[in-house]
């Protein structure tokens, strides 16, 4: 059974600081996704990571994937208030579980002045 | 233009009264998902269709059913809503299996209130 764990679940940080969110998953997969969700809103796709060593960057966010360690990271550089949201990683099952998209519990990020 | 459309955005239903939520997509994706998201929790996968193949999660209650009459539409039926079923219901689509690593696109969600 595919399980996805994120940490931390809550993150309060000051503007200008850096931090990393971690996403671990339990079974083989090379398809990992990061989403952002604002309160009361739906999910917005941020990154799609498809291979070991994949790294993608958009603005102050950078995501990476290590399929051997079954670990993805979302690094925040010089945080700004607009980044305050909940961030979810999601992993797609492999082989027979293809298409089965399972989410982590999310990291609620609050960036304070 | 919206690519995954959920209707209605807000639904109030009475305890025990059947309710249907709808989702349509213009992406021609082969996979459609239904997720339940309660306040401050992660989206929980209820079931998904891989083309016409229905895949039910083991812990999805029998109270929840789904229909996919064609590629574009998918419905979530809650046969006898309870107070614990109040949540945001998210529909998503993906080209998974056809497009490697295709991301899932989410609709705006339907917020269900049970009174």
Which whole number is the average pLDDT over A18-36? Answer: 91
Contacts of A48 in chain B (CB under 8 A): 101-103
> pLDDT category, A83, cuts 50, 70, 90?
very high
**B77, β-bridge pairs:** B20, B65
**A32, β-bridge pairs:** A49, A91
Judge: A100–B108 Cβ closer than 8 Å, yes or no.
Answer: no
d(CA A5, CA B97): 24
CA nearest neighbour of A67 among A88, A87, A100, A94: A94
Q: Is B112 on the interface with A (CB under 8 A)?
A: no
The mean of the pLDDT values for chain B is: 91
> pLDDT category, B1, cuts 50, 70, 90?
low
Judge: B105–A45 Cβ closer than 8 Å, yes or no.
Answer: yes
Strand A107-112, strand B10-13: pairing: unpaired
Percent of chain B at pLDDT above 90? 71
Q: Is B27 on the interface with A (CB under 8 A)?
A: no
Phi, psi of A100 (to 5 degrees): -85, 105
Whether the bond between B8 and the residue before it is cis, its omega within 30 degrees of 0, is: yes
CA nearest neighbour of A87 among A42, A35, A48, A39: A35
Give the minimum alpha-carbon distance from B91 to chain A in angstroms, rounded to a whole number: 10
Contact, A53 vs A65, CB < 8 A? yes
Give the minimum alpha-carbon distance from B42 to chain A in angstroms, rounded to a whole number: 5
Find the radius of gyration of the CA atoms of chain B.
13
For residue B96, give both structure tokens. Answer: 């998974």
Which whole number is the average pLDDT over A68-72? Answer: 94
Give the minimum alpha-carbon distance from B54 to chain A in angstroms, rounded to a whole number: 11
Contacts of A7 in chain B (CB under 8 A): none
């Amino acid at each position: 059974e595919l399980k996805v764990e994120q940490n931390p679940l809550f993150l309060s940080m000051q503007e200008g600081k850096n931090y990393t969110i971690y996403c671990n998953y339990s079974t083989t997969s090379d398809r990992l996704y990061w989403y952002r969700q604002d309160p009361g809103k739906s999910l917005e796709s941020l990154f799609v990571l498809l291979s070991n060593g994949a790294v993608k960057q958009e603005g102050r966010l950078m995501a990476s994937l290590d399929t051997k360690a079954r670990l993805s990271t979302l690094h925040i550089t010089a945080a700004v208030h607009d980044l305050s949201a909940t961030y979810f990683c999601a992993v797609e099952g492999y082989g027979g579980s293809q298409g089965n998209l399972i989410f982590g519990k999310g990291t609620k990020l609050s960036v304070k002045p | 233009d919206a690519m995954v459309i959920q209707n209605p955005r807000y639904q109030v239903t009475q305890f025990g009264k059947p309710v249907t939520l709808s989702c349509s997509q213009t992406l021609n994706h082969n996979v459609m998902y239904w997720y339940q998201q309660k306040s401050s929790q992660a989206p929980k996968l209820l079931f998904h269709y891989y083309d016409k193949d229905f895949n039910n999660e083991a812990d999805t209650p029998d109270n929840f059913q789904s229909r996919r009459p064609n590629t574009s539409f998918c419905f979530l039926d809650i046969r006898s809503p309870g107070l614990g079923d109040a949540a945001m219901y998210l529909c998503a689509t993906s080209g998974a299996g056809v497009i490697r690593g295709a991301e899932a696109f989410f609709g705006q969600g339907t917020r269900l209130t049970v009174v």
